[in-house]
Amino acid sequence: MHDYPAGRFAVWTTAWLAGRTSYDEALDAVTGETAHRVSGLPDTDGAVPLGAALTALRGLGERRLRLVLPVPGDVRGLPAVPGLAAAALASGQAAVGERVALVPEPLGPEVVQWTAFSLDGALPPPPPAEGTLRSASGALDLAITESARTLAQLDLARWHPEVPGLLADLARPKPAPGLPQDHDPLALSILGRALRVAAVLDLALADAPGGAVTSGQAARRDAVLRPLGDAVREAVTAAYNALPR
């Protein structure tokens, strides 16, 4: 199950800062039944609840946060401040504003710890990784098509009977839930599809039971499927960072 708390935080905080949703709705959408605490915010002492962090971000003059999904060798979108890249790579995600970047760390199923990094004095980050929604959607479609033969050759259904259903789902629209009501419909559709592709990709990259996949086969599989993983990352980033039309 792929979860992007930094994506939810970025999209709902941006919506609240822009006056497109209420404080309570944004807070509920990000936290759900999970306790969130934030440490490292400028002008705050110790860890504070997520609600207090939202208020602090408004006080700092933040207007928009963006999701960044860094991987080794590609940390575009992350400002160069001490500790941020390492923390974001370990988490796999970050929510980045103009004054602060925040990195989540789940502490079990009921608590998420956020670490804030002040961006005051930092140089502007390299351009973010995402393109337009349509380009991200096209790249995802192309990567799915080019990877389909490899997925079939891996005979995933033998080891994972849920795979055929997941693959069939890719052809059916299924917008992602849990985003602001005015979020771009295309972004909702792309995110829903990207999350389903990610589930198939996880199965494809897992070794077959009993060691049926040799190291050489695994290396070839990983090389062929890597562009699909890149396309999923681009699609998720673009979908969360889209603004209403």
Tens-place pLDDT, residues 194-238 = 988 888 888 777 765 544 567 776 777 777 778 888 999 999 999
**Over the stretch 106-162, which tens digit does the pLDDT of each residue have?**
998 899 999 999 999 888 776 665 568 888 888 888 888 877 777 677 666 566 667
Q: How far is CA 215 from CA 29, 122, 223, in A?
A: 42, 43, 12
Q: Averaged over 67-88, what is the pLDDT?
A: 94
Q: Tell me what pLDDT residue 15 has.
A: 97
Q: Which residue in 130, 235, 229, 132 sits closest to 189, CA to CA?
A: 235
pLDDT band at 1 (very low <50, low <70, confident <90, very high): low
Phi then psi for 106, rounded to 5 degrees? -65, 130
Question: Could you tell me how many residues make up the chain?
Answer: 245
DSSP-based helix, strand, coil % in the chain, nearest 5: 50, 10, 40
> In 3D, which of 58, 59, 60, 78 has the Cα closest to residue 68?
78
Q: Is the pTM of this model over 0.85?
A: yes
User: What pLDDT, on the 0 to 100 scale, is given for residue 159?
Assistant: 62
| Mean pLDDT in residue range 68-75 | 93
